[in-house]
Amino acid sequence: MWAKMVSDLHLSRDPALGLRAGLEQSLRAAVRSGQLRPGTRLPSSRVLAGDLGVARNTVADVYTQLVAEGYLIGARGSGTRVAAYADRSNAVRAETTTSPGAATARFDLRPGRPDLSSFPQAAWLRALRTVLVADVAPALGYGDPRGPLLARTALAGYLARVRGVLADPQLVVLCAGYRQAVALLARACSAEGRRTVAVESPGLPEVPEMFRRAGLAAVGLPVDDEGAQIGRLAATGADTIALTPAHQFPTGVPLSPARRAALVDWAHRADGIVLEDDYDGEFRYDRQPIGAVQGLAPGHVVYAGSASKTLAPGLRLGWLVVPPRLLEPIVEEKRLADRHSSTLDHLALAHLISSGDYDRHIRRMRASYRRRRDELGAALTPVRPRLGASGFRAGLHVLVPLASPATETEVLSHLERHEIITNGLSRYAPGDQRAGLVVGYATPPQHLWRPALAAFANALHDGS
């Protein structure tokens, strides 16, 4: 057995490793695999050194190391043995947690994703370099849980200018995308004693899920062509509401002026907290974007945004603008969640904003998405004149209603056969009878947009 092990050691030794490291690694592996069983006595360092043709000190060093690490036991007088409790239950086979919704289709028309082929690589790298050259310590050290003041100030200015947000840099909390923004707020609401959150139906399923995790109940608020039905809010008993006023996800309608007023009214009367998800507020085509509700009621509205649609979701750049009374609990949640987000990346965003590159990129993308939207509208018109697709005025997706969930399933399979992946409306409103396609026209890279559109139009034509 020992001879076998020694030869195995030779066989399995990684040639990239030195003699000593190789011996060490081989012994660890032999102990782990059970090839060397607990209690087995190892040859003396002199004997093994002779067998292997290495210096005795090398083997002695390796034994010492592996004793220190717990693989071996070195008892004075009784030589070196394999430790008793090396774990052999390590059938390390992971469940294959595959990436959810990884697109295998050729044409990706799912919503919520921007055109990544247009990411401003050069500007982003330039911004990072500028930040690193300017002063490396604040960009790389530990810092304020809210993120660096410089980045909060740049962002506050941007949000005030472009989205009508009343943003004091002290009240800005930089975080890891919209997802973390919701997680932090949900926990802070729970700590404040809030019990029930109203969410849009249809809407993003992760939002109620995260509030439930934090201990709140979630109730659905139906969405019609004026947005969420705020009139029903009081009856739900909710003390918190999460919604997408600028461009309801996924129906694409903006919250009507009367509903905005009713929302603000409710927040004051019920001392409610409003989470305003401004996920694609920059993208409005036929007129100026509608400003954030936050500006109307900054004492009650938590404004949440991200660079996931303007730049790229993979950067995980997000932010909250919070009412003063929620600042302390949200900062505390952020501190305990991950201390703070990447200082370097948020400073680079700040630089992108102050250099004008951010606005230039958004303008360019808005023009590009507007063209896509127009082409999508034109492609849909002749095929299904009565489709009543909605959400064309803003954002990066449209909703194409379908007769029933059964039709939806059918159409999605049909599209899949044409190598097209998109999302069904029913995933955003389980139990509802509403059905449709939520078509994201921003997702395909530039060179695939026209082919994707042609394939989509053909498939719908086939199926109609």
Binding residues for a second copy restricted to 382-421, rule: CB under 8 A:
none
* Contact characters 181-210, a second copy, x per CB under 8 A: --x----------------------x--xx
CB of residue 421 to a second copy, shortest distance in Å = 14
Among 10, 12, 39, 68, binds a second copy (CB under 8 A): 68
Among 10, 34, 55, 69, binds a second copy (CB under 8 A): 69
CB of residue 179 to a second copy, shortest distance in Å = 4
CB of residue 265 to a second copy, shortest distance in Å = 5
Which residue, 286 or 386, has its beta carbon nearer to a second copy? 286
Give dist(CA 351, CA 364) in Å, integer. 18
CB of residue 161 to a second copy, shortest distance in Å = 8
Assign residue 313 a region (left: φ > 0; alpha: ψ between -120 and 50; beta: otherwise).
alpha
Interface positions, 6-45, toward a second copy (CB under 8 A): 17, 28, 32
* Contact characters 270-309, a second copy, x per CB under 8 A: -----------------xx-xxxx-xxxxxx---------
**366 CA to centre of own chain:** 22
CB of residue 195 to a second copy, shortest distance in Å = 19
Which residue, 180 or 201, has its beta carbon nearer to a second copy? 180
**Cβ 425 vs Cβ 399: under 8 Å:** yes
Token pair 């938590």 is found at 302
**Cβ 443 vs Cβ 108: under 8 Å:** yes
Give dist(CA 456, CA 239) in Å, integer. 43
CB of residue 11 to a second copy, shortest distance in Å = 18
**Cβ 6 vs Cβ 52: under 8 Å:** yes
Does 170 participate in binding a second copy (rule CB under 8 A)? yes
Interface positions, 209-228, toward a second copy (CB under 8 A): 209-210, 213
Bridge partners of 421, per DSSP, are: 108
Which residue, 27 or 412, has its beta carbon nearer to a second copy? 27
CB of residue 144 to a second copy, shortest distance in Å = 4
Among 132, 362, 379, 457, binds a second copy (CB under 8 A): 132
CB of residue 160 to a second copy, shortest distance in Å = 8
CB of residue 51 to a second copy, shortest distance in Å = 22
Interface positions, 95-124, toward a second copy (CB under 8 A): 95-99, 113, 116-117, 119, 121, 124
Does 433 participate in binding a second copy (rule CB under 8 A)? no
CB of residue 288 to a second copy, shortest distance in Å = 6
Does 65 participate in binding a second copy (rule CB under 8 A)? yes
* Contact characters 140-159, a second copy, x per CB under 8 A: xxxxxxx-------------
Give the dihedral sign, CA 83/87/88/93.
negative
Interface positions, 306-345, toward a second copy (CB under 8 A): 312-316, 324, 327-328, 331, 336-345
Q: How many residues bind a second copy (CB under 8 A)?
A: 104
* Contact characters 346-385, a second copy, x per CB under 8 A: ----------------------------------------
Does 58 participate in binding a second copy (rule CB under 8 A)? no
3-state secondary structure the chain: CHHHHHHHHHHHCCCCCCHHHHHHHHHHHHHHHCCCCCCCECCCHHHHHHHHCCCHHHHHHHHHHHHHHCCEEEECCCEEEECCCCCCCCCCCCCCCCCCCCCCCCEECCCCCCCHHHCCHHHHHHHHHHHHHHCHHHHHCCCCCCCCHHHHHHHHHHHHHHHCCCCCHHHEEEECHHHHHHHHHHHHHHHCCCCEEEEEECCCCHHHHHHHHCCCEEEEEEEEECEECHHHHHHHCCCEEEECCCCCCCCCCCCCHHHHHHHHHHHHHHCCEEEEECCCCCCECCCCCCCCHHHHCCCCEEEEEECCCCCCHHHCCEEEECCHHHHHHHHHHHHHHHCCCCHHHHHHHHHHHHCCHHHHHHHHHHHHHHHHHHHHHHHHHHHCCCCCCECCCECCEEEEEECCHHHHHHHHHHHHHCCEECEEHHHHCCCCCCEEEEEECCCCCHHHHHHHHHHHHHHHHHHC
CB of residue 382 to a second copy, shortest distance in Å = 32
Among 11, 15, 89, 386, binds a second copy (CB under 8 A): 89
Which residue, 72 or 219, has its beta carbon nearer to a second copy? 72
CB of residue 368 to a second copy, shortest distance in Å = 16
Interface positions, 235-264, toward a second copy (CB under 8 A): 254, 257, 260-261, 264
